[in-house]
Amino acid sequence: MSSERAAVRETVAELIEEAGSWPHVTVADHRFGGTEFRVGPREIGHVHEWGMLDIAYLRALRDVLIDEGHTGVHHLLTESGWTTYRIGAAAEYDHARWLLRLSYLYHVGVLQRTPAGAEELADVDVAAELDGLAPSEAVRAAFERRRG
């Protein structure tokens, strides 16, 4: 195995470990291979060992992220809210984490609007964590459309 491929696999393993440590995230095998991340019933994304990271967003948020060059259109579901980001090097870990964390916060925020989620997920301060990600104004506006 090339050192480049080994570095990508290590980066993916690090991302799986980190995302699995986030409050209320469960990690499991994904039905199409790889590892998926869920908050309650919602899949926030999944990653394959070769570095393909598929992430679920609200369509408007997905469109802004693609327009700003943060990620790409999903490799199969081109008209959905899903995106595909390819981790090609260890240096891309921080951006992959940022994208996955944004999805996590989006889905936690949606679930917090439900009676069960409001109680169960109350320990996640979505607004403060979003501030910590420092998204562009366009990303923030699309993210906050869920509150409409």
Is pLDDT at 99 greater than 70 in this prediction? yes
What pLDDT score does 146 carry? Answer: 61
Is pLDDT at 89 greater than 50 in this prediction? yes
Segment among 49-53, 75-79, 107-111 with least mean pLDDT: 75-79
Other CB atoms within 10 Å distance of the CB of residue 43:
20
Reported pTM: 0.93
Q: Report the top-level CATH class of 3-147.
A: alpha beta
State the average pLDDT over residues 83-109: 95
What are the boundaries of each domain within the chain? 3-147
Q: What span, in angstroms and rounded, lies between the C-alpha atoms of 92 and 43?
A: 22
